[in-house]
């Protein structure tokens, strides 16, 4: 029997495989999430995320310089906020002299070409650990949107290139777009967490920022009234299309690896760039397995990130960005 079609012909050597490779991962695909804390010349290891640290502003700037030299051209900023600065409305989030605003300015001064995407959500600034303002025991969607607009405009004033609302309030993209336009920031983009699921994979992140919902019987015990139910996929399409119509420039899907079916479905219906968040729990699992000798760390990092891009991502938010950049450069 003659086999006329043999797929293995195009796998015969490394050069042949490279010639027909469909998905190519590069450092241009990465956005590095960064945790910033108050103080000077200090860093704190995050136990559940090996290799990841909370850093003071000065060390954060040095880290951004190193990232840019490796080819990582975008960072996503999160603040570890002091307890005395937290309240129900998250007012510290739009303080012109706040840690976030000063960090944006310092990075822009040191690395002008670095794309800065600050997180827009109230949970790090909230006494309740929620992404929204609490009114009568519930998340107040519209009051929260007003706060998010103030936060976004303050980030733009500090020099942010793109604001990244991760709160999942209804209508916040339109509100933020209007606020930016009215304030003259027509070039500042919006990366919308359009399909952000209520996931168990966020645990290490919340411990890094101390931003989990507090244990209080008078408020929602979790974030399921605004983050999406992980059983649903059609709902994700609806959320994405609404944010596109409201003026989002980039769409985020979060988490990453367990939700690649959502990435592929969204890729089929929109032409905007898609970001995917390879979240803290995914990173922690990979690191734990590698430390136990169950996985090859380097190969697993590159494979997992390539799979996210293959599913349809244009950019990947990942705590492995620096490590992956070093691997790719070598």
The one-digit pLDDT tens for each residue of the chain (330 residues) are 899 999 999 999 999 999 999 999 999 999 999 999 999 999 999 999 999 999 999 999 999 999 999 999 999 999 999 999 999 999 999 999 999 999 999 999 999 999 999 999 999 999 999 999 999 999 999 999 999 999 999 999 999 999 999 999 999 999 999 999 999 999 999 999 999 999 999 988 877 777 778 878 788 889 999 999 999 999 999 999 999 999 999 999 999 999 999 999 999 999 999 999 999 999 999 999 999 999 999 999 999 999 999 999 999 999 999 999 999 999
Write down the H helix ranges in the chain: 14-19, 57-70, 99-110, 141-158, 172-182, 203-209, 234-246, 260-269, 280-291, 297-311, 321-329
Selecting among 254, 265, 287, 322, the annotated active-site residue is 254
CA dist., res. 26 & res. 328, Å (int)? 7
Look up residue 210 and give its DSSP letter: T
Give CB contacts under 8 A, 24+ apart, made by 236-240: 236/194, 236/195, 236/262, 236/265, 236/266, 237/265, 237/266, 237/269, 239/194, 239/195, 240/194, 240/195, 240/266, 240/269, 240/270
How far CA 259 is from CA of 86, 283, 299, in Å, comes to: 33, 15, 21
Cα 92 → chain centroid:
21
Largest CA distance in the chain: 78
Q: Is 254 a catalytic residue?
A: yes
User: First-to-last CA distance in the chain?
Assistant: 45
Residue 277 confidence (pLDDT): 97
Residue 205 confidence (pLDDT): 86
Residue 215 confidence (pLDDT): 78
How far CA 138 is from CA of 142, 167, 172, 225, 276, in Å, comes to: 12, 15, 17, 9, 29
Residue 296 confidence (pLDDT): 98
CA dist., res. 55 & res. 268, Å (int)? 39
Residue 156 confidence (pLDDT): 98
3-class DSSP assignment, residue 114:
coil
Residue 218 confidence (pLDDT): 80
Is the separation of the CB atoms in 139 and 147 below 8 Å? no
Selecting among 80, 86, 108, 196, the annotated active-site residue is 196
């Amino acid at each position: 029997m003659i086999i006329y079609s043999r797929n293995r012909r195009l796998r015969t050597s490394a050069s042949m495989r490279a010639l027909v490779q469909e998905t190519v991962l590069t450092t241009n695909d990465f956005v590095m999430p960064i945790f910033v804390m108050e103080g000077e010349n200090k860093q704190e290891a995050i136990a559940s995320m090996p290799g990841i640290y909370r850093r003071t502003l000065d060390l954060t700037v040095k880290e951004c310089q190193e990232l840019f030299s490796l080819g990582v051209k975008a960072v996503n900023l999160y603040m570890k906020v002091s307890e005395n600065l937290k309240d129900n409305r998250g007012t510290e989030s739009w303080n012109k002299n706040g840690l976030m605003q000063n960090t944006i300015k310092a990075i822009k001064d040191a690395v002008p070409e670095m794309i800065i995407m600050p997180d827009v959500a109230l949970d790090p600034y909230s006494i309740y650990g929620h992404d929204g303002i609490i009114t009568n025991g519930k998340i107040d969607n519209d009051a929260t949107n007003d706060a998010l607009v103030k936060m976004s405009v303050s980030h733009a004033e500090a020099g942010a290139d793109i604001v990244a609302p991760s709160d999942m309030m209804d209508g916040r993209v339109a509100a933020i777009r209007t606020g930016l336009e009215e304030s003259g920031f027509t070039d500042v983009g919006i990366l919308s967490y359009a399909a952000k699921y209520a996931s168990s994979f966020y645990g290490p992140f919340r411990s890094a920022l101390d931003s989990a919902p507090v244990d209080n019987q008078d408020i929602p015990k979790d974030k399921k009234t605004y983050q999406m139910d992980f059983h649903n996929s059609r709902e994700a399409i609806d959320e994405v299309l609404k944010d596109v119509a409201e003026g989002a420039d980039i769409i985020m899907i979060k988490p990453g690896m367990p939700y690649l079916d959502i990435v592929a479905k969204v890729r089929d219906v929109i032409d905007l760039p898609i970001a995917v968040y390879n979240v803290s729990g995914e990173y922690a699992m990979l690191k734990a397995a590698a430390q136990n000798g169950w996985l090859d760390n380097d190969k697993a990092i590159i494979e997992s990130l390539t799979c996210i891009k293959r599913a349809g991502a244009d950019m990947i938010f990942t705590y492995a960005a620096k490590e992956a950049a070093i691997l790719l450069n070598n």
